Amino acid sequence: MDVLLTPSGGKEHLLLGNEAIVRGALEAGMAFATCYPGTPSSEVPDTLYRLRKQFPNKVKYYFEYSTNEKVALECAAGAAASGVRTLCTMKHVGVNVAADPLMTLAYVGVNAGMVILTADDPSLFSSQNEQDNRYYARLSGLPMLEPCGPAEAKEMTSYCFELSEELGSPVMIRTTTRVNHAREAVPFVKLGKVKQTSKFVKNPMRYVTVPAVSRNLHLRLLNLYNQAQAISEKSPYNQIVGKGKLGVITSGVAANYVLDAVGDLGAKSKIKVLKLGFTYPLPEKKIARFLGSVDKVLIVEELEPILEEAVKAIAQEKGISVEIVGKVPGKVPAKSVDIEAPNFFSRAFEYNPRLVREVIAKTFGLEFNEPAEISLAGMPTPPGRPPNLCPGCPHRATYFVVKEVAGDEAIYPTDIGCYTLGVLPPIKAADFLICMGSSVSSSGGISRATGQKVVSFIGDSTFFHSGITGLVNAVHNNHNFTLVVLDNGTTAMTGHQPHPGVNTEAIGDITTHIPLEPLIKGLGVKHVVTIKPFKVRAAKKAIEEAIAFEGVSVVISQELCPLFARRVAPTTKRVFQVVEDKCKGHLDCIKKVACPAMFVENGQARINPLQCIGCALCAQICPENAILPVKAKG
Amino acid sequence: MSTQRIVFVGVGGQGNLLASNLLGQAALAAGQHVVVSEIHGMAQRGGVVESAVILGDATSPIVSNGEADVLVSFEPVEALRLLNKVNKHSLVITNTRPLPPFTVAIGAASYPAPEESVAFLKKKLDKVIAFDGQALAEEAKNPLSLNMVMLGALFGAVDLPIDVKTMKKIIRTQTKKRFAAANVLAFDLGYKAAA
């Protein structure tokens, strides 16, 4: 039995923030959950999926990986409007995809608790931007809570279901990577009862957002602000810690850095902290009282100065003249955080304990000790260790073949997935990427505007997520480019989640498999071909033809992700070796594809037999035919 | 009690996150306050994997530059890469068996000799423990148990508020059954190497 399904409460368990969110939802009796996976949110849906699969008789909720975040939110909205408790999870940029339903769902509201998780990623550990989704609460008018760690994440998730029902409105819970991916002791309460089904009660004057209805719904939403604001004033999640005439206002994970700093600085009797967890609407009166009780206030929040501006506005409105400081206005870190962490509060990158301690000390004129740092001068330079496509990854083969045909001159819009690693040398087949699905649509723009040869790449999951509409557009508007769908049969990057193109039988799911080729043909693409990327010669011919085709052509490059295959369809292939007598040291095999199983020794290529999985790509590249399978023993 | 900040660094596939998670569970079982943090995502494709275990009063999930009390490195050059995490008084425990990245394989970068890396560590720090942990993992008959070797070394070298028995019980019950015995042996070998 999994600890997350423990029926009783009382004990503490070490949980990942994302597991804590799952437990919180289960304690609230969640009956319905939808998502699109994405770091740092993925372990929430992955845990829900795993529990349902492992314990079908214990688990009482419906769960799905939806095709994208907009679909996930709309599906969840339908369930919550029908009266079952619903969770919908996504990463921060996923909310952009779901923003359209979000804005009007806020008008319509729900009939049972609905919680929307937005998992933000300050410092961009695995994202294309570090947008601050606290703005979405303000944009949509939905209440938002921000936990500071796993234990609070569990408690708040449960509470958000209650709050959502009290207000008849979805509630957002906003985490950051350091909350999602931290572990701490989480106290359990007992699992909640699950109301699994309900009945949709017709009420078009509420649910059908024609202008006449929405005008009223907007007034409802504005009144909701007042109601939620009153709850926020009294919320135990907005609490004052410590005492003193110096004030700090903080929220989210930064609250930990502040509280640790106050202790480390020995300033518990000097600094009073207003720790905010219910952050939209803000507890304006509580903040005003706090401002009135201190001589100076420092705002500690990662990313945008949202609290800072709100607190300044409250001070202005109430005529409180206390000095309020936070971000250094207009100052931007000179270097990226992976080179040097900033030493002041800026709008870029996550904070850390030392930064917060030093800024608090400097702001309030307190003494602080800097650690005895060591000089790194003269250090042997560590070689770069960027993430790389795995040995035997079919993307490497596809990239090799496409580059052989289209060279460095073609423009390669790409998309989001493992294959984005194709940006690295020696592959270098990634020229433009802004979001999920942008490969397909931007290809039309680039080829129309320039007449240059365009070959774009998209993964199978990403194609289902947001590539289809772009492809319809390209066909309809007579664009001219080749789209390569890298079909590895799974959502590899985020941890092998299923998607509509997955062979559902192989993984034992009862969902329906939608094959790519008939779908793409059905969209009106005139030239569609499916290739096996490890059959280099045939693949090359097919890609030449596709690229020569005038108009939109699609190549489906089909081969299972080897990590996924190892689980669902294990096969053993003979590994390869370099025949030393034959290898003349061209090193094409290494220079062109950089498989991590290969290395150079005495000017010759070598293959690490523990890493090779026998894909045979290098053997087909070698001009001397010096790479052969290791003979079977005996 | 005071705070102990332990940073683990390794390469995707070395089991770094399992080590920090098990240490966190042992801390909880020993009644200690603990926060563990991990970086997932792109790291699983052969990149650098970092995690932290913070024991004691602190609630912050991460360790700032210069503030790690202990750096446990599963690979010699990764100890160098994360050296900005430590200060003069920190302890660095490192495996000396190299795992060169593909940038070295393709000739885009060179790999410093492990002795050179260890010499630099020793020049800069009061306390360095360096040994071939991979050899001990192999001796324990599970080449994948380097993470347990390094965890053992941590216990051997550092006075932690968690007793060894509790840690071993967690290893025995929380790792895969068929590897449990080898894992405990690997832990013991690492413990001896660093004690």
> If we measure between CA atoms, which residue out of A499, A440, A431, A512 comes closest to residue A465?
A499
User: In this complex, is the C-beta atom of B112 within 8 Å of any C-beta atom belonging to chain A?
Assistant: yes
Say whether pLDDT at B41 is over 60.
no
Say whether pLDDT at A514 is over 80.
yes
Identical fold at A235-333+340-364 and A394-568?
A: yes
User: In this complex, is the C-beta atom of B173 within 8 Å of any C-beta atom belonging to chain A?
Assistant: no
How far, in Å, CA of B97 to CA of B67, rounded?
Answer: 26
User: In this complex, is the C-beta atom of A352 within 8 Å of any C-beta atom belonging to chain B?
Assistant: yes
How far, in Å, CA of B114 to CA of B95, rounded?
Answer: 9
Nearest chain B Cα distance for residue A542, angstroms: 29
Considering only residues A566 and A246, tell me which one the structure prediction assigns the higher pLDDT. Answer: A246
Q: Burial level of B123, CB count in 10 A (0-12/13-18/19+)?
A: exposed
Nearest chain B Cα distance for residue A483, angstroms: 25
Nearest chain A Cα distance for residue B192, angstroms: 29
Nearest chain A Cα distance for residue B184, angstroms: 21
Tokens of A618: 């290098």
How far, in Å, CA of A357 to CA of A241, rounded?
Answer: 16
What is the residue-wise DSSP string for B94-129?
EE------HHHHTTSS----HHHHHHHHHHH-SEEE
Average pLDDT over residues A537-559: 98
Q: Is the pTM higher than 0.95?
A: yes
User: Partners of A32 in the beta sheet?
Assistant: A62, A86
**By three-state DSSP, how is residue A525 classified?**
coil
Say whether pLDDT at B1 is over 70.
no
Say whether pLDDT at B12 is over 50.
yes
Lowest mean pLDDT among A76-80, A628-632, B67-71, B164-168: A628-632
Mutate to test the interface with B, among A44, A183, A496 (most CBs of B within 10 A): A183
Mean pLDDT score of chain B: 94
Pairing verdict, β A627-629 and A576-578: antiparallel
Which pLDDT value is given to residue B44? Answer: 60
User: In this complex, is the C-beta atom of B89 within 8 Å of any C-beta atom belonging to chain A?
Assistant: yes
Q: Say yes or no for a CB contact (<8 Å) between B66 and A370.
A: yes
Which of A263, A378, A388 has the CB atom closest to B45's CB atom? A388
Nearest chain A Cα distance for residue B162, angstroms: 15
Lowest mean pLDDT among A187-201, B19-33, B36-50, B163-177: B36-50
How far, in Å, CA of A416 to CA of A485, rounded?
Answer: 12
For residue A358, give the chain B residue with the closest CA.
B64
Q: Say yes or no for a CB contact (<8 Å) between A599 and B100.
A: yes
Which pLDDT value is given to residue A632? Answer: 73
Average pLDDT over residues A41-63: 97
* Digit-coded pLDDT (tens) for A95-140: 999 999 999 999 999 999 999 999 999 999 999 999 999 999 999 9
User: Partners of B34 in the beta sheet?
Assistant: B55
A526: pLDDT confidence band, cut at 50, 70 and 90?
very high
Q: Say yes or no for a CB contact (<8 Å) between A600 and B107.
A: yes
State which fold the A3-232 domain adopts: Rossmann fold (3.40.50)
Which pLDDT value is given to residue B13? Answer: 84
Q: Say yes or no for a CB contact (<8 Å) between B37 and A14.
A: no
Q: Is the peptide bond before A40 cis (omega within 30 degrees of 0)?
A: yes
Q: Which own/partner pairs from A208-217 qualify as long-range (CB within 8 Å, at least 24 positions apart)? A: A209/A104, A209/A107, A209/A108, A214/A104, A214/A107, A217/A107, A217/A108
How far, in Å, CA of A330 to CA of A481, rounded?
Answer: 42
Q: Say yes or no for a CB contact (<8 Å) between B37 and A178.
A: yes
How far, in Å, CA of A474 to CA of A443, rounded?
Answer: 9
Angle at A513 between CA A507 and CA A518, to 5 degrees: 140
Q: Is the peptide bond before A281 cis (omega within 30 degrees of 0)?
A: yes
For residue B125, give the chain A residue with the closest CA.
A374
pLDDT above 70 coverage of chain A, percent: 100
* SS3 of A543-577: HHHHHHCCCEEEEEEECCCHHHHHHHCCCCCCCEE
Q: Say yes or no for a CB contact (<8 Å) between B64 and A600.
A: no
Q: Say yes or no for a CB contact (<8 Å) between A376 and B83.
A: yes
Which pLDDT value is given to residue A1? Answer: 84
**By three-state DSSP, how is residue A275 classified?**
strand
Say whether pLDDT at A433 is over 80.
yes
A633: pLDDT confidence band, cut at 50, 70 and 90?
low
List chain A domain ranges: 3-232, 235-333+340-364, 394-568, 576-629
Which pLDDT value is given to residue B40? Answer: 64
User: In this complex, is the C-beta atom of A263 within 8 Å of any C-beta atom belonging to chain B?
Assistant: yes
Average pLDDT over residues A379-402: 94
Chain B residues whose CB is inside 8 A of the A600 CB are: 105-107
Flag whether the ipTM exceeds 0.90. Answer: yes
Contact A96, A435 (CB under 8 A): yes
- What number of other Cβ atoms are within 10 A of residue A323's Cβ? 11
Contacts of residue A425, Cβ cutoff 8 Å, sequence gap at least 6: A594, B108
Contacts of residue B63, Cβ cutoff 8 Å, sequence gap at least 6: A353, B5, B7, B52, B54, B85
Lowest mean pLDDT among A150-164, A230-244, A601-615, B36-50: B36-50
Terminal-to-terminal C-alpha distance of chain A:
45
Which pLDDT value is given to residue A571? Answer: 83
How far, in Å, CA of A306 to CA of B174, rounded?
Answer: 43
**By three-state DSSP, how is residue A454 classified?**
strand
Question: Which of 3.30.420.40, 3.40.50.360, 3.40.50.970, 3.30.930.10 would CATH assign to domain A394-568?
Answer: 3.40.50.970
Which of A354, A385, A600 has the CB atom closest to B67's CB atom? A354
With b for 16 or more beta-carbon neighbours within 10 A and e for fewer, the A572-593 pattern comes to eeebbbbeeeebeebbebbebb
Angle at B100 between CA B151 and CA A534, to 5 degrees: 115
Angle at B46 between CA B45 and CA B48, to 5 degrees: 110
A634: pLDDT confidence band, cut at 50, 70 and 90?
very low
Q: Is the peptide bond before A387 cis (omega within 30 degrees of 0)?
A: no
Task: Look up tokens 């609407």; give the residue.
Answer: A281
User: Partners of A499 in the beta sheet?
Assistant: none
Q: What dotted CATH number matches A576-629? A: 3.30.70.20
Chain B residues whose CB is inside 8 A of the A392 CB are: none
Question: Which of 3.40.1400.10, 3.90.1150.10, 3.40.50.920, 3.60.15.10 would CATH assign to domain A235-333+340-364?
Answer: 3.40.50.920
Structural domains of chain B, ranges and CATH numbers in brackets:
4-194 (3.40.920.10)
How far, in Å, CA of A591 to CA of A609, rounded?
Answer: 19
For residue B99, give the chain A residue with the closest CA.
A385
Q: Cα separations (Å) of A543 from A444, A600, B21?
A: 19, 31, 46
Q: In which region does residue A336 sit, left (phi positive, over 0), alpha (psi from -120 to 50) or beta (all else)?
A: beta
Q: Burial level of A530, CB count in 10 A (0-12/13-18/19+)?
A: middle
How far, in Å, CA of B136 to CA of A439, rounded?
Answer: 48
Q: For residue A438, what is the enclosing H or E element?
A: helix A438-450
Give the A window 369-408 contacts with B, CB below 8 Å. 370-376, 378-390
How far, in Å, CA of A376 to CA of A314, rounded?
Answer: 47
Say whether pLDDT at A233 is over 70.
yes
Give the B window 49-78 contacts with A, CB below 8 Å. 57-67, 77-78
| Cα dihedral: A27, A28, A29, A34 (round 10) | -110
Contact A174, A304 (CB under 8 A): no
**By three-state DSSP, how is residue B130 classified?**
strand
Which spans in B131-176 are helix H?
Answer: 133-139, 146-157, 164-174
**By three-state DSSP, how is residue A17 classified?**
helix
Q: Burial level of A152, CB count in 10 A (0-12/13-18/19+)?
A: buried
* Digit-coded pLDDT (tens) for B132-178: 999 999 999 999 999 999 999 999 999 999 999 999 999 999 999 99
